Amino acid sequence: MQKLSFVIGATATGKTYFIEHHFADKRAVVLNVYDYQQRAYDEAGCDDWITFDMQFRCLKRANEMHLHDIIAELKKGNDVVAEQTFFKAKRRIAYIDEIRKAVDVEIEIFVMCPGDDRWADNIKKRELDDDLKSFKAQAQRDIEFPNPAEGFDAIYEVVDEDIILRMDEEKPEIVDQARKELAEEAVRITKEEEERRKRQELLDSMNTRPFWHYCEVCGRKEFLTAEDAHNAGWDYPPNIGVFGLLSPRTCGDCNMQQTLWWKVNQQSIPLVMTGELTEKERETWERIKNEPESLLDDNE
Ligand SMILES: [Zn+2]
State the CATH number of the domain containing residue 158.
3.40.50.300
- Are 287 and 143 contained in the same domain? no
- Are 135 and 31 contained in the same domain? yes
- Are 221 and 134 contained in the same domain? no
- Are 163 and 215 contained in the same domain? no
* Parent domain of 250: 211-295
Q: Which of 251, 241, 239, 237 is nearest to 295 (CA)?
A: 237
Of 126, 158, 191, the residue that ends a domain is 191
Kindly tell me if the per-residue pLDDT of 136 is higher than 60.
yes
- Are 92 and 220 contained in the same domain? no
3-state secondary structure the chain: CCEEEEEECCCCCCHHHHHHHHCCCCCEEEEEHHHHHHHHHHHCCCCCCCCHHHHHHHHHHHHHHHHHHHHHHHHCCCEEEEEECCCCHHHHHHHHHHHHHHCCCEEEEEEECCCHHHHHHHHHHCCCCCCHHHHHHHHHHHCCCCCHHHCCCEEEEEECCEEEECCCCCCHHHHHHHHHHHHHHHHHHHHHHHHHHHHHHHHHHCCCCCEEEECCCCCCEEEECHHHHHHCCCECCCCCCCCCCCCCCECCCCCHHHCHHHHHHHCCCCCCCHHHCCHHHHHHHHHHHCCCHHHCCCCC
- Are 187 and 227 contained in the same domain? no
Question: Would you say residue 204 lies in a domain?
Answer: no
From the CA of 47, how far away is ligand 1's center (Å)? 39
From the CA of 214, how far away is ligand 1's center (Å)? 8
- How many residues does the structure list for the chain? 300
Rg from Cα positions in the chain: 27
From the CA of 296, how far away is ligand 1's center (Å)? 19
Question: Would you say residue 217 lies in a domain?
Answer: yes
Mean per-residue pLDDT, 219-227: 96
Rounded distance, CA 227 to CA 240, Å? 11
- Are 161 and 280 contained in the same domain? no
AA identity, residue 18? F
Kindly tell me if the per-residue pLDDT of 92 is higher than 60.
yes
Question: Would you say residue 202 lies in a domain?
Answer: no
- Are 171 and 264 contained in the same domain? no
What are the pLDDT digits (tens) for 273-289?
888 899 999 999 999 99
From the CA of 222, how far away is ligand 1's center (Å)? 11
Contact 5, 80 (CB under 8 A): yes
When mean pLDDT is compared across 27-41, 121-135, 162-176, the lowest value belongs to 121-135
Rounded distance, CA 196 to CA 189, Å? 10
Quote the crossing angle between the two packed helices 89-102 and 172-205, to the nearest 10°: 90
When mean pLDDT is compared across 21-25, 46-50, 177-181, 248-252, the lowest value belongs to 46-50
When mean pLDDT is compared across 7-16, 49-58, 105-114, 183-192, the lowest value belongs to 49-58
From the CA of 249, how far away is ligand 1's center (Å)? 9
pLDDT value at residue 251: 96
Strand order in the sheet with 154-159: 28-32, 79-84, 3-8, 106-112, 154-159, 162-165
Average pLDDT, the chain: 93
Question: Would you say residue 10 lies in a domain?
Answer: yes
What are the pLDDT digits (tens) for 170-216?
999 999 999 999 999 999 989 998 998 999 999 999 999 999 999 99
The better pLDDT of the pair 276, 154 is held by 154
Kindly tell me if the per-residue pLDDT of 294 is higher than 90.
yes
From the CA of 234, how far away is ligand 1's center (Å)? 9
pLDDT confidence of 224, banded at 50, 70, 90? very high
Question: Would you say residue 197 lies in a domain?
Answer: no
Interstrand relation of 221-224 and 211-214 (parallel, antiparallel or unpaired):
antiparallel
Question: Would you say residue 110 lies in a domain?
Answer: yes
CA distances from 85 to 46, 59, 93, 108 (A): 21, 11, 13, 15
Kindly tell me if the per-residue pLDDT of 158 is higher than 90.
yes
Domain count, the chain: 2
pLDDT value at residue 24: 87
Question: Would you say residue 199 lies in a domain?
Answer: no
Rounded distance, CA 200 to CA 41, Å? 21
- Are 35 and 149 contained in the same domain? yes
Of 191, 219, 253, the residue that ends a domain is 191
- Phi-psi category of 87—alpha, beta or left, where left has phi over 0 and alpha has psi -120 to 50? alpha
- Are 235 and 279 contained in the same domain? yes
DSSP-assigned beta bridge partners for residue 212: 223
* Percent of the chain predicted with pLDDT > 90: 77
Question: Would you say residue 73 lies in a domain?
Answer: yes
Of 159, 191, 223, the residue that ends a domain is 191
- Are 89 and 232 contained in the same domain? no
pTM of the model: 0.76
- Are 23 and 136 contained in the same domain? yes
Kindly tell me if the per-residue pLDDT of 54 is higher than 90.
no
From the CA of 207, how far away is ligand 1's center (Å)? 22
